[in-house]
Amino acid sequence: MRILSAGAAQAVVEPLIAAFKEEGLDVAAEFGAVGAMKSRLLEGAAADVIILTAALIDELIASAQVVAGSRADLGRVGTGVAVRKGTPLPDVATVDVLRGNLLAATKIVCPDPATATAGKVVMRALEGMGISEQSKSKLQFFPNGYAAMKWLAASSGQLELGITQNTEIKANNGVTYVGPLPDELQLKTVYSAGVCAQARHPEAARAFVTRLTSPANRAALLAAGYEF
């Protein structure tokens, strides 16, 4: 069975893959920004399960790429701020203090807004705070939030910040979750799973989606950063 998944779901998908493998099923997954994963499916990549934002899953259902009625929601994910583990935690509680800390930052890492939900949120937030131009030289884009957090964890620079989905921050032990973006800048996104219309293993795909989104898995989803 093959899975295409948004990076925001990686922390909960990987343990479930391990469980399915222990039960004797061959499972492989590819993780990335939602736009990139949608493109992979449309380009013909073999997939049984796809996990994207609810809006993109609905688009794929409308175009008959995902089985109608197979959508199941994991929960909502907000966008937050991270720093390298062991470095001082900035205040991000209000727009004004966040704005000041972003202006003081030497680098701001985030997913590429061309393909990633969190990247779009970051750009919208910078524009909303009126600091888009001042931040341009500090921004560094990555294919997904996991890649951005991995870079931040390995960096040695001072006053570096990361902004991405909460689930991608909390899954990386090398960074510290500072807190969510203030409500005025926040955009919480529902992530959903669906069974691909061309699935080679549709029964296994349905079983995976059911278990991933089941009440029994809610504790794992909460711990990863999902909200209900």
- What's the whole-number average pLDDT of the chain? 96
pLDDT at 180: 97
pLDDT at 133: 96
pLDDT at 8: 93
Each residue's pLDDT tens digit, 18-36? 999 999 999 999 999 999 9
Each residue's pLDDT tens digit, 42-74? 999 999 999 999 999 999 999 999 999 999 999
pLDDT at 67: 98
Q: Are residues 50 and 61 in the same domain?
A: yes
pLDDT at 211: 98
DSSP state of 216: G
Q: Are residues 208 and 220 in the same domain?
A: yes
Rounded Cα gap, residues 24 and 213, in angstroms: 21
Q: Are residues 111 and 15 in the same domain?
A: no
Rounded Cα gap, residues 16 and 197, in angstroms: 22
Q: Are residues 195 and 180 in the same domain?
A: no
Span 212-223, mean pLDDT? Answer: 96
**Domain boundary pick from 170, 185, 200:** 185
Each residue's pLDDT tens digit, 198-215? 999 999 999 999 999 999
Q: Are residues 148 and 219 in the same domain?
A: no
Rounded Cα gap, residues 108 and 131, in angstroms: 12
Grade residue 192 by pLDDT with cuts at 50, 70 and 90.
Answer: very high
Q: Are residues 179 and 207 in the same domain?
A: no
pLDDT at 205: 98
pLDDT at 45: 97
Q: Are residues 159 and 116 in the same domain?
A: yes
Each residue's pLDDT tens digit, 78-125? 999 999 999 999 999 999 999 999 999 999 999 999 999 999 999 999
What is the crossing angle of helices 10-22 and 202-212, to 10°? 130
Q: Are residues 62 and 117 in the same domain?
A: no
Helix or strand or coil: residue 118? helix
Rounded Cα gap, residues 139 and 146, in angstroms: 16
Q: Are residues 54 and 138 in the same domain?
A: no
Q: Could you list the residue range(s) of the whole structural domain that residue 206 is in?
A: 2-76+190-224
Q: Are residues 114 and 168 in the same domain?
A: yes
Contact 71, 150 (CB under 8 A): no
> What CATH number does residue 114 fall under?
3.40.190.10
DSSP state of 196: B
- 3-class SS shares of the chain: helix, strand, coil, % to 5: 45, 25, 30
pLDDT at 164: 96
Q: Are residues 109 and 152 in the same domain?
A: yes
pLDDT at 200: 97
Query: 88-95 long-range contacts, Cβ below 8 Å, gap at least 24?
Result: 89/176, 89/178, 90/161, 90/178, 92/178, 92/179, 92/180, 92/181, 92/182, 93/179, 93/182, 94/182, 95/128, 95/129, 95/182, 95/184, 95/185
Q: How many domains does the chain have?
A: 2
Residue partners of 65: CB distance under 8 A and separation at least 6: 41, 42, 196, 197, 198
Contact 7, 33 (CB under 8 A): yes
pLDDT at 108: 98
Q: Are residues 29 and 102 in the same domain?
A: no
Grade residue 147 by pLDDT with cuts at 50, 70 and 90.
Answer: very high
Say what the pTM is: 0.90
